[in-house]
Structure 1
């Protein structure tokens, strides 16, 4: 795999190809032909994390009215089907989201093939996803605790 060259992102042998309209779940998860797919090689923020809705909306814009080809290549540790997903014009959905600054290359899984597409300071912007990649889950726990505290305060203020 050529680092930074998404056309060289060959994640392994293709087990099967699915084609159809995509139903977007979040920035790095879509459903195609009734199968939930985790996009190969990237990490986008969760919906309830900073920029999570932006990532989902960007993926929706990319997929709207398109027939997506999903090259199923793996199953991840959580049992999710992993696929390299392409638009009819050949654009790789993972690469497109990274180029927009709404997802990070995940070298552990991509071999770094999307790394050169990352925009400046994106790892600072998507700090929770970057922390997850480094295994710093305490950062996530702290974020979730603060979010929970704010929700409790807001709920108490309504009483």
Structure 2
């Protein structure tokens, strides 16, 4: 016996549906769908931010990695300077994050903007505190890199080339 019976004259009864799923009736054909495992986040998150490091911020308890760039970790050369450069950019500002579908170490990835439409990632690359990561940005910020940025941020550059293992989450 089938879970669903074709009854064009009567709508399906709630007892006809399997548990933890729902059905949508279209032209006498019942299509099963399942709810998403995780709720899909809003595409835009807006508010004051807290800076974690040179490429990660928190808005409303949501960790967001800046898309398309790589800044040094806090314990790497220039890591603290990259963090404080981002703090100075965001201080007292409302940041708008346009969330992308991918994740990075359980963080959302997003393009973040200040109220005057300046891109936070572009500003960090211009200051020489982050590098364009072509694998994820398709070269969007490459033209903004300073002449000596890859020499100064050699650990981030090595990580991009696969010479260093990625940091372990934790």
TM-score, length-normalised on structure 2?
A: 0.71
Distance 2:121 2:70 in 1: 9
In structure 2, the residue matched to 1:39 is: 66
**Following TM superposition, by how much is the alpha carbon of 1:77 offset from its aligned partner in structure 2, in angstroms?**
4.7
* Bigger CA radius of gyration: 2
Greater relative contact order (CA < 8 Å, ≥ 6 in sequence): 1
Structure 1 residue 65 corresponds to structure 2 residue 123 = no
| Deviation string, structure 1 residues 36-85 (Cα, Å, up to 9, x no partner) | 00000000000000000000000000000000000001333523200000
1:96 aligns with 2:123: yes
Counterpart contact for 1:47–1:56, Cα < 8 Å: yes
Alignment CA distance shift 1:115-1:15 (3 Å): farther
Contact 1:70 1:86 (8 Å CA) reproduced? yes
Q: Which runs of 5+ in 1 are unaligned?
A: 1-13, 142-159
Relative to total residues, which structure has the larger strand share, 1 or 2?
Answer: 2
Distance 2:105 2:92 in 1: 30
Please name the residue that 2:50 is paired with. Answer: 23
In structure 2, stretches of 5+ residues that fail to align are 1-40
Alignment of 1:69-148 (within 5 A): 69-137=96-164
CA distance in 2, matches of 1:60, 1:77: 21
For 2:109 and 2:97, the matched residues in 1 are separated by: 9
C-alpha separation between the residues in 2 aligned to 1:74 and 1:104? 22
